[in-house]
Amino acid sequence: MNAVGEERPLGVDSAPGAVSPALGVDSEVGTLRTVILHRPGDELRRLTPRNLDQLLFDGLPWVDRAQAEHDAFADLLRGRGIEVLLLADLLTEAFTVSGAARMQGIGAAVDERRTGSGLARDLAAHLRTLPAAELAHVLTSGMTFDELPPDAASPSLVRRMHHGADFVIDPLPNLMFTRDSSVWIGHRVAITSLAMRARVREASVTDLIYAHHPRFHGVRRAYESRTAPVEGGDVLLLAPGVLAIGVGERTTPAGAEALARSVFDDELAHTVLVVPIAQQRATMHLDTVCTMVDTDAVVMYPAARDQLTAFTIRRTDGGGVGIDGGAPFLDAAADAMGIGKLRVIDTGLDDVVAEREQWDDGNNTLALEPGVVVAYERNVETNARLEDAGIEVLRIRGSELGSGRGGPRCMSCPVARDPVRPAEEHPARQ
């Protein structure tokens, strides 16, 4: 109960008495009201030099420091009046109120093709006995063969032939990048399909939260893909009705087209820009090279400024789609947004500095409102250039959080933002 005797919404750790805003997002920069974060936990302690590449990390994070950095990030958001929903709490609460949520989570985690039928039955039976919080912990941090209960009902060759430290349930160390597994478009949520094997199950965790947590009761889906990969880091809501989707290492052309057709069918967008990006880790998502910092401004890696192009997809009168290709991305974006020109803030004039800060997620900012962003403090040149352009930069530490190659935008899934005014209605920033 809060101070006035009313129950707080499940999953909320914002100030007591806070009123939960309506869910929905129509831009990258509308005033942020509610966001989903995942505090990194024991899943990061599962990382070793042997499995780093497989689990998509570039180094072994100091977990306690990563947690402290993430706590500071969450506290900064709360200090700005933003409601923070923690994914682990949402997952636990979904398991508490819904048996179907438990079955869905267990079903996604137990892979009979890896374990064999006997061990799969024993493992699922064991997971069904766990309290909600413990089940949530296992499904996010994983389980080794050594951690299986010793009194299995069925003999298992798989269990005998695996080393005790091998995973019978894989950990999800990338779960802290909550942006990728779901995207809000208007008042609907798109559940994505993640491309890399190490991340596939993240979408099932997100899916069951939206399906079974009371906070999201009645929320309709904008898109659900089980085949064509599309990830949230590649989806930018440039303006109401205008999406940009990067196609590269993680999102495929088929995924981008499927999402475009879906948002057209639901009348959530009138224009989708599909933007090819290099298929490499340094530019795994569109938001690693470009993010919105104001209604009419982006921060962008200078090497991409003149190279990015866009295929413009629009709904035709007959219900189909029309595709125009080859236009410079910045021109196509300004045209779709109905503004004369996008302001572009480069991440540095020096090529070496720009490349270093792009790698360290200098372009991966989280807008809290028009002209106010959160960024890693280490990207000194990028942050200075943002401030020179009139953008307020709220700096956070990310020496350990960045080991998975993700910045403040990657680590946050906005679920409620205020609608934005058209760019031309905002006074010019000095």
Domains located in the chain, CATH noted: 32-86+173-418 (3.75.10.10), 90-169 (1.10.3930.10)
Q: Is the pLDDT of residue 41 over 70?
A: yes
264-305 pLDDT, tens digit each: 999 999 999 999 997 665 557 899 889 999 999 999 988 888
410 has catalytic annotation:
yes
The pLDDT > 70 percentage for the chain reads 88
Helices (H) and strands (E) in the chain, counts: 14, 19
CB 122 within 8 A of CB 152: yes
Owner of token pair 């990194």: 40
pLDDT digit string, tens, across residues 226-249: 678 899 999 999 999 999 999 988
> Looking at the predicted structure, is the pLDDT value of residue 422 above 70?
no
Other Cβ atoms within 10 Å of 276 Cβ, number: 18
3-class state of residue 13 by DSSP: coil
| Tokens 């990006």, located at residue | 277
Q: Determine the pLDDT at residue 60.
A: 86
Q: Say which residues have a Cβ less than 8 Å from residue 338's Cβ, sequence separation at least 6.
A: 239, 422
Q: Which of 222, 410, 411, 416 is catalytic?
A: 410
Per the DSSP assignment, residues forming a β-bridge with 290 are 300
pLDDT at 49: 87
Residue 346 phi/psi, 5-degree rounding, is -75, 155
Look at residue 48 and tell me whether its pLDDT is greater than 70. yes
pLDDT at 7: 36
Among candidate residues 327, 371, 368, the one with its CA nearest the CA of residue 345 = 371
Is 118 a residue whose pLDDT tops 70?
Answer: yes
Reference 94, options 82, 84, 104; nearest CA is 104
Q: How much is the average pLDDT of 70-94?
A: 97
pTM as predicted: 0.89
Which pLDDT band holds residue 349 (cuts at 50, 70, 90)? low
160: which 2 tokens? 């005998």
